[in-house]
Amino acid sequence: MERTQPANGDTVRAALSVVSVRFSRPVNASLTTLTLLRDGAAVPAPAVRMVDSAGHEFALDTGPLAAGSYVARWRTAGADGHVLNGSFTFVVQAEPATALPADTAVAADTANPDAAAASATAAPGTPPAEVAGAVTAAEPGSTGVSSSEADSPLAVAMRWVWFVALLGMIGVPAFRFGVLMRIARDPAHLATAARAELGLGFIALAAASLSVVALCGRLLLQASALGLTEQGWSGASLDRLLLGTGWGLAWVLQAIATLAFAAGMLIVRAPYGRAAGWMGAGGSVILLSAVPALSGHAAAVERVTGIAILADALHVLGAGVWLGSLAMLLAVGVPAAFAGGGDAEGSVAAMARAFSRMALVAASTVAVTGVISSLFHIDHGADLWGTTWGRVLLLKVAILIGVAALGSHNWKKVVPAMGGADGTRRLQRSSRAELGLAALVLLVTAILVALPTP
């Protein structure tokens, strides 16, 4: 929120018939509402109109307001899909002859006065009229109270579930193409690769199921944050949310790509079409990697939006290849090696070496794209420690450095020494610690993506 008219705490001593809000960045016009309340009752107004074509400023034509204390409540969604809401208060001391009666009632939807007062789709219009007369400002530049339901514990938990599912789905084809296909070239490890590939199918379907849970949860939370659940579900409201917003289109992409991924993994298990199934699953996770960018901060970057989305998608893809494949190594690779006897330690060592080469490239991608993505949102170095977003980003980086340090230890110390009886146990211990810190990174990321950027 950049400013409101009147400002929060103002006392207006002249005729006032327009209330407006201005956001520092463009917001979604179709999901922007502005409601005015006097003594707890909603003041009727014809529509919320968009003042500028860029979607920064919106106005509510209330007609001459009677003297009294008012609360203006606003709600909107940014280009990144994050729902913001807030309120500001002001006092009108003028009593124009044409003012609205104090006992004016709202004729529609008494069960939901907020929605009844002003919930129409905003349209381009003219700038709001200035207040003609004296205004006493209680606090210059104040915009009242604002908040986001995206930072609630339930919303954070649902995003964490989605990130876990995403890294799991990326890790499945990455481990198959980057690790199992490599070790299968050696006849000594062919049986291990076949057993591990079978296990990947179960992990893949579990990750896809988790993605479906995240889809349902995210949709319900987003609809609730926008007030759609209060107004009742309808085809029009769903169309407006899913097809009329960037967040909705990203949600649709997640749904389609998740179904395509699951279908590909089912084809893999069929008698024919194994190669096509794996290719389909691999293509699906590339699409899935773009979903956080399309529904996150990258989508709100102006002028170079495409570059920001690409950097964010590569960041996610790199993290999935690195950490998702490591999870697959522990979950299916090691058990597959020891399930058939033979040179189990040798098979684990072969998988670890193949994984390390792939993980080095993936981790480097995560580091480079992470820096690029951060630069899109930082204007000054002080933004890192002077804003909540910056401090949480530093926390994420600190934990990620710990993950990278454990990964480097595995690469330089554990993997070269593998082949003996204790090699697999050492790899499991260090890799579990690495994944534990990675899960914490995902939790911090689930908080970070909901915070406003500097």
pLDDT of residue 370 exceeding 70, the answer is yes
Q: Residues 13, 136: contact at Cβ < 8 Å?
A: yes
- Measure the CA–CA gap between 189 and 370, rounded to whole angstroms: 36
Question: In this structure, what are the phi and psi dihedrals at residue 42, rounded to the nearest 5 degrees?
Answer: -75, 135
pLDDT of residue 445 exceeding 80, the answer is yes
3-5 and 18-22 strand pairing: antiparallel
Collapsing DSSP to helix, strand or coil, 32 comes out as coil
Q: Which of 41-50, 198-207, 396-405 has the lowest mean pLDDT?
A: 41-50
- Measure the CA–CA gap between 383 and 385, rounded to whole angstroms: 6
- Measure the CA–CA gap between 394 and 385, rounded to whole angstroms: 8
Q: Residues 70, 55: contact at Cβ < 8 Å?
A: no
DSSP label of 78: B
* Per-residue model confidence (pLDDT) at position 114: 41
Q: Residues 202, 172: contact at Cβ < 8 Å?
A: no
| Structure confidence by residue, pLDDT tens digits, 286-324 | 999 999 999 888 888 878 899 999 999 999 999 999 999
Q: How far is CA 337 from CA 233, 407, 421, 422, 450, in A?
A: 51, 22, 13, 15, 41
Straight-line distance from the first to the last Cα atom of the chain, in angstroms, rounded to the nearest whole number:
12
Q: Residues 130, 405: contact at Cβ < 8 Å?
A: no
| Structure confidence by residue, pLDDT tens digits, 125-160 | 444 444 334 444 444 445 555 555 556 889 899 999
33-38 and 41-42 strand pairing: antiparallel
For residues 49-56, average pLDDT:
82
Proportion of the chain above pLDDT 70, given as a percent: 85
Proportion of the chain above pLDDT 90, given as a percent: 47
Q: Which residue has the higher pLDDT, 99 or 420?
A: 420
Name the pTM for this structure. Answer: 0.80
Residue recorded with tokens 């199934």: 277
Q: Which of 82-86, 114-118, 207-211 has the lowest mean pLDDT?
A: 114-118
Residue 385 in tokens: 């420690």
Q: Which of 50-54, 216-220, 280-284 has the lowest mean pLDDT?
A: 50-54
* Per-residue model confidence (pLDDT) at position 150: 59
Q: Residues 159, 292: contact at Cβ < 8 Å?
A: no
Give the model's confidence band at 251: pLDDT under 50 very low, under 70 low, under 90 confident, else very high: very high
Residue 158 in tokens: 């649902």
**DSSP result, 13-26:** -S---EEEEE-SS-
Sign of CA dihedral 239, 245, 250, 253: positive
pLDDT of residue 211 exceeding 70, the answer is yes
- Measure the CA–CA gap between 130 and 92, rounded to whole angstroms: 14
* Per-residue model confidence (pLDDT) at position 356: 93
Q: Residues 418, 424: contact at Cβ < 8 Å?
A: yes
Sign of CA dihedral 25, 31, 36, 39: negative
Omega prior to 6 cis, within 30 of 0 = yes
Question: In this structure, what are the phi and psi dihedrals at residue 76, rounded to the nearest 5 degrees?
Answer: -155, 175
pLDDT of residue 73 exceeding 60, the answer is yes
- Measure the CA–CA gap between 312 and 153, rounded to whole angstroms: 24
